[in-house]
Amino acid sequence: MPVFPDAIQSLVDELRKLPGIGPKSAQRLAFHLIVAGKPAINKLISSLEEARDRVGYCSVCGNLTESDPCPICQDSKRDRTLICVVGYPKDVLAIERAGGYRGLYHVLHGYIEPLKGVGPEDLRTKELLARLGPGSPVKEVILATNPDVDGETTALYLAKVLKPLEVRVTRLARGLPFGADLDYADEVTLARSLEGRREVT
Amino acid sequence: MTLASLYLHDFRNYAHLELSLTPGVSLFFGKNAQGKTNLLEACYYLSTLTSPRAERDLDLARWGTDRFTLGARLTEPDQTSYIRIDTIVRPALRRRVLIDDRPAKRPELVAHFPCVYFSPDDLYMVKRGSSLRRRFLDSLLSRLDPGYARELSRYEDTVTRRNAILKKAFMSSSWDKTLEGLDQILIDSGSAVLNRRLSLMSTFSGQVSDTYRFISGDECSVSYSSSLGDLSGSREDTARLFREKLASIRAEERNRGVTLVGPHRDDISITFGDKTVRYFGSQGEQRSVALALRLAEARALEERLMRKPVLLLDDVFSELDESRREKVLSLCDFGHQILLTSTDPVPIAGSNVRMYAVGEDTVKPL
Ligand SMILES: Nc1ncnc2c1ncn2[C@@H]1O[C@H](COP(=O)(O)OP(=O)(O)O)[C@@H](O)[C@H]1O
Ligand SMILES: [Mg+2]
Ligand SMILES: [Zn+2]
């Protein structure tokens, strides 16, 4: 293992923390940036700062946004009787890309993961219930969680909690491969499983 | 179907090996730790994308390398086909499988080139606790039924999550609700697993009795024995039984912090009359039962896939008596190709036997 100057080593260490970046890619990226020079690095720094300062979470749905509430929550043309519940902001992106869905979203920021000790209270479940309180226009909640056991567990939990409320609870049609991530599903499959959603019993 | 040639690149101790084979019996002999098992392991990997012994593909790449390639040429009277598998083991596992230059998945591979691997350790399937017998059944089912592995892993994922909650010292009402959901998935996936196991056993138990009779001339019987009790009903009945059972042992599960019933606790019972082979069989009888299980595996694969599996006999020959050896070798006459390893050049009569010497990281036909 070659030894780098400390500054490069700490850059490599930071890059390695990013998802999908192994030690070799981290080195490649670090050298690329340093060779690219000041202007390129400054541009990256300023876009990182901008993202840090301007992007936050929507206080209604939990999606990433520059304005609060987010453009989707503010859009008067969207169907306010429908809420689609997803695990992460990237899932909103996947469903929007698939097209066809015109309702609102609710981002849980995770799934129930008993193996990591992550329980229902650690997710944005209370916020979801608040949106469904008395006088709420919502008629249907679509549980679009990952088709793995944690996603299924989360959906079943929510279905139980939502049961006493006067709202239809549906799940995506199976058809997504078990264990696959929602945001890896291709657009046609995703659109189809949204259309073919079924009531949870 | 004949495995007509094998190609290994950076697999285990072989940097590069090309080997021609013929129908009938191929006998590989050589001293210990020369790469005999590695050769059969390569065949099995070409059939199933798994090793019969290594837990991780990482161990299969030749030391100092990050990837390996395996190839096979298969001939039939009217056609030739090729399998090629490239596996990258580092930094992340990546695999490319080609049958006749077209990308293929595991079920197509198994159907194209079925293999059965026999090992001296098969004896433990008969002698020891239930987990090796379940693993045997699961491995066979996942090759016969591509949907099985998915349902089984859904079930196993559910068991580990359920156990994590059962271990909690304090059960909040939200964890309790979560557990209710997990029970539902447990019952759903568990019944699906049981259903498939039972449907296999309805033919498989007869096949084991047949192969055991073929080897030893004696009778043995094999049946599925479930932690849920009697499963003769429909899938709905099974699900109901599962639910009732869970309710009745909830307190004990909370005490012990594990899931106590379900297909992960089931067993295959093997008996001579009313005697359990595991406890009362002689070592020789137990070996014959292990052999019978593998031969029945070959038969089950053949019936489903309409192809004769290649039999990979690793070191088991030395442990069989003369008459059992002959029985096994006679399977060539029924169209099975046999690859067997031994530490000595066992004298085998017959014109369809070819010998190969294994040593110094290579294999030489004699
Ligand atoms: N990944 C590997 N790379 C190189 N050599 C290996 C690897 N794995 C095992 N070996 C070597 O293979 C030999 C064991 O081969 P094996 O086929 O089990 O022997 P046997 O002929 O007794 O069946 C050992 O000498 C071991 O060092
Ligand atoms: Mg060996
Ligand atoms: Zn919003």
B2-114+307-365: CATH topology: Rossmann fold (3.40.50)
Task: Please check whether the two domains, A6-54 and A64-199, share a CATH topology.
Answer: no
Q: Whose CA is nearest to atom 2 of ligand 1?
A: B12
Residue pair B310/B114 in contact (Cβ under 8 Å)? The answer is yes
Burial class (CB in 10 A: 0-12, 13-18, 19+), A49: exposed
CATH class of A64-199: alpha beta
Please tell me the distance from the alpha carbon of residue B58 to that of residue A60, in angstroms, as a whole number. Answer: 47
R_g over Cα of chain B: 22
d(CA B58, CA B92): 10
The residues facing B87 across adjacent strands are: B68, B95
Q: Ligand 1 within 6 A of B38 CB?
A: yes
pLDDT value for B320: 86
Query: One digit per residue, pLDDT tens: chain B, 366 residues?
Result: 999 999 999 999 999 999 999 999 999 999 999 999 999 999 999 999 999 999 999 999 999 999 999 999 999 989 999 999 999 999 889 999 999 999 999 999 999 999 999 999 999 999 999 999 999 999 999 999 989 999 999 999 999 999 999 999 888 999 999 999 999 999 999 999 999 999 999 999 999 999 999 999 999 999 999 999 999 888 899 999 999 999 999 999 999 999 999 999 999 999 999 999 999 999 999 999 999 999 999 999 999 999 999 999 999 888 888 889 889 988 888 899 999 999 977 777 777 889 999 999 999 998
**Would you state the pLDDT for residue A176?**
58
Pick the CATH number of A6-54 from 1.10.579.10, 1.20.120.140, 1.10.8.420, 3.40.50.2300: 1.10.8.420
Query: Could you tell me the distance, in angstroms and rounded to a whole number, from the CA of residue B23 to the centre of ligand 1?
Result: 26
Asked casually if ipTM beats, i.e. exceeds, 0.90, the reply is no
Instruction: Tell whether the torsion through CA atoms of A74, A79, A80 and A84 is positive or negative.
Output: negative
Closest to A114 (Cβ–Cβ): which among B150, B165, B180?
A: B165
Task: Report the atom number in ligand 1 closest to the C-alpha of B60.
Answer: 1
The one-character DSSP state at B120 is G
Q: Which residues 161-200 in chain B show a CB within 8 A of chain A?
A: 161-162, 164-165, 172, 174-175, 177-178, 180-182, 184-185
Classify domain B125-279 at the CATH topology level.
Answer: Glutathione S-transferase Yfyf (Class Pi); Chain A, domain 2 (1.20.1050)
Q: Where are the domains of chain A?
A: 6-54, 64-199
